Structure 1
Amino acid sequence: MQLLAYILIYPILWLVSILPFKLLYLVSDGVYVLLYYIIGYRKKVVYSNLKLVFPDKPEKELALIQKKFYQHLCDMFLEMAKTMTISESELKKRFVLLNPEEFQRLELQNKSVLLMYGHYASWEWSVVLQNYINFKGFGVYKKLANKYFDKLVRDIRSKFSTQLISTKETISIINHNEAEGKKSITAFLSDQSPRLTKDVYWGTFMDIETPCFTGAERLAKKLDLTIAYLKVNKVKRGYYEAEIKTLAEKSNDYKDYELTDLFLREVEKQIYDAPEYYFWTHKRWKHKRKIV
């Protein structure tokens, strides 16, 4: 069944990937109408999240943000498919790193870097960042159940030499590299909802108490790694700009969870500035702390 699904869907993805950008975004407009007006994919979840985060915004404004989000969502998923065949030169025009010198400065310290960022704007096209660094680049991702699509995702995201590692592999690979003296820059998408456990960290995100991922912070403190934030902005349709913001070069100088909170504040700033580019379909605030 997994192979059949792959055989049926892969040709569609490949055909999308070879479309000129003007045609690609015309297709995206059609997908938006289908997804938003006909299927209504997760509209209740998106609206519930927006209402929770922006309780004082009028209904018309929330509705506008919701529509803009779905338009961006469709663009982003078609851009993911486009990555299958896009050239390096074209991608570097469309995903521009504004301060590559900050990567160079951090590498001169001869310390590995954990690069944290959120599901905002385009995290998919950040694979091109490997072209700006000398360290080995890794991207942490959640392994897909369908092994054929999982391999496809690995191939797409590894196209520019960034190596994907699953969440289960992350600690062992980073520990091994550090023991071998191999410096790296590892990307963590850390703004979504973790599995609920009794020792989970309850922080605040968009002024709402919620469980938070702390893996990057814990690794940074254990191995004395630098933590940075990748701020990605959408300039216009199909064009993004990224900026490296170093959060901590000496992670152990910070109190527990302080680095996680610093990261979340950076994501919040971007959401407040342009909420339509955040990934609202995820049930980010689904957990509530039980009062004992």
Structure 2
Amino acid sequence: MSRLVAGLMWLLHWLPFRLMALLGSALGGLLYHLAGSRRRIGQTNLRLCFPQMPEAERTRLLKAHFVAVSRMLLEYAYCWFASRERLKRMMRIEGLEHLRALDGQPVILVMPHFTGLDMAGLRVSLEVPVVSIYSKQKDAGLDAYVEQKRLRFDTGIVLSRQAGIRPALKALKQGYRFYYLPDQDFGARDSVFAPFFGVPAATITGLSRLAKASGAKALPCYPRREADGYTLVIEPPLADYPSEDVEADAARMNTVIEAQVLKQPEQYFWLHKRFKTRPPGEPDLY
């Protein structure tokens, strides 16, 4: 399976970005109708987060999101095979000066789950050494292949989520920039309930704890998809962060992510059960 996927991606990486987008549009329309369980998760998330939005508009948004996800899947071809120079052209960086200003200091790049996040991580690793955490694939062969491709420029290290946070903290103190994805539901452990679009969401407190333990500055960022590529937007570091209140820090992080989502809602990953873990006594939402 991994050889078949690799061969297909190698062929796709020759395609121009705009043509890849057209293929993604066709695939997204198909997946919207075929992926019933994921479609229902997306419908639930959008209804919870945008209760005032007309249903027809939420449907349009979800269809656009399936297109965005499909484009992202096809664009792994660029992540795996495109040259450094092509990746730099394809993923521009806005706000790199915020990162450069912190040379010599520990930095956490706070990247929510937007489509384009993997290409953005690879792109920023061409500027600074990066450490990131990933979830293992079920297919061991594919997992090893993907890890190899993530490391193909020798510009960073990747760690399995199963290894815990300590290796990442060690790398952060050694000068690696931590590319950190903090916005999915990993259960009640190490989480607090903080509002996300007004809905209590199990929110991991890792960003606050890591920043406190390492003295790192937290720089929010996100990839903005455009007609001819992406722009990785790096925002200024969060001021007075972390505080002494991890719950307040979690709520603040979610507020930052909300603002990013509202700029490009179709790009945010709505197909994950973000509200799976509920406060005691609340019913299952899915």
Band of TM-score, shorter chain:
0.7 to 0.9
Residues 37 and 234 of structure 1: CA distance in aligned 2, closer, same or farther (over 3 Å): same
Equivalent AA in structure 2 for residue 143 of structure 1: K
Structure 1 residues 4-15: aligned runs within 5 Å: 5-15=1-11
Per-residue displacement from partner, 1:261-281 (whole Å, max 9, x unpaired)? 222111101222321111111
Among 273, 279, 292, which residue is 2:269 paired with?
279
CA distance in 1, matches of 2:201, 2:243: 25
CA distance in 1, matches of 2:225, 2:14: 22
Higher mean C-alpha displacement, 280-289 vs 159-168: 159-168
2:136 matched to which residue of 1? 143
CA distance in 2, matches of 1:279, 1:147: 25
Residues 44 and 177 of structure 1: CA distance in aligned 2, closer, same or farther (over 3 Å): closer
Higher mean C-alpha displacement, 145-154 vs 24-33: 24-33
Asked if 2 retains the 8 angstrom alpha-carbon contact of 1:114 and 1:185, the reply is: yes
1:192 matched to which residue of 2? 184
CA distance in 2, matches of 1:49, 1:182: 39
Describe the SS at the equivalent of 1:152. helix
State the shift of 1:142 in Å: 1.3
1:231 matched to which residue of 2? 222
Per-residue displacement from partner, 1:157-181 (whole Å, max 9, x unpaired)? 2234232112233533244446xx6
State the shift of 1:291 in Å: 3.7
1:246 matched to which residue of 2? 237
CA distance in 1, matches of 2:251, 2:24: 35
Structure 1 residues 148-159: aligned runs within 5 Å: 148-159=141-152
CA distance in 1, matches of 2:41, 2:228: 25
Per-residue displacement from partner, 1:51-86 (whole Å, max 9, x unpaired)? 111111112111111111111111111112221111
CA distance in 2, matches of 1:187, 1:175: 12
State yes or no: 1:125 paired with 2:125. Answer: no
2:99 matched to which residue of 1? 103
Structure 1 residues 53-132: aligned runs within 5 Å: 53-107=49-103, 110-126=104-120, 127-132=122-127
Residues 175 and 8 of structure 1: CA distance in aligned 2, closer, same or farther (over 3 Å): closer
CA distance in 2, matches of 1:53, 1:239: 26
CA distance in 2, matches of 1:39, 1:217: 36
Asked if 2 retains the 8 angstrom alpha-carbon contact of 1:47 and 1:62, the reply is: yes
Q: Structure 1 length as normaliser, TM-score?
A: 0.86
CA distance in 2, matches of 1:23, 1:46: 27
Residues 38 and 253 of structure 1: CA distance in aligned 2, closer, same or farther (over 3 Å): closer
State the shift of 1:207 in Å: 0.9
Equivalent AA in structure 1 for residue 2 of structure 2: Y
Residues 23 and 202 of structure 1: CA distance in aligned 2, closer, same or farther (over 3 Å): same
Equivalent AA in structure 2 for residue 164 of structure 1: V
Residues 65 and 253 of structure 1: CA distance in aligned 2, closer, same or farther (over 3 Å): closer
Equivalent AA in structure 1 for residue 131 of structure 2: F
2:208 matched to which residue of 1? 217
Q: Structure 2 length as normaliser, TM-score?
A: 0.88
Equivalent AA in structure 2 for residue 113 of structure 1: V
Structure 1 residues 16-35: aligned runs within 5 Å: 16-35=12-31
Residues 273 and 21 of structure 1: CA distance in aligned 2, closer, same or farther (over 3 Å): closer
Per-residue displacement from partner, 1:184-238 (whole Å, max 9, x unpaired)? 21111111111233x6311111110011111222122122222221133223363
Residue ranges of structure 2 left out of the alignment (5+ in a row): none
Asked if 1 retains the 8 angstrom alpha-carbon contact of 2:221 and 2:233, the reply is: yes
Per-residue displacement from partner, 1:104-147 (whole Å, max 9, x unpaired)? 1111xx321121110124201111112223xx311111122322
1:262 matched to which residue of 2? 252
Residues 83 and 252 of structure 1: CA distance in aligned 2, closer, same or farther (over 3 Å): closer
CA distance in 2, matches of 1:257, 1:289: 14
Corresponding residue pairs, total: 280
- For the aligned residues, what is the CA RMSD? 2.3
Q: Percent identity?
A: 24
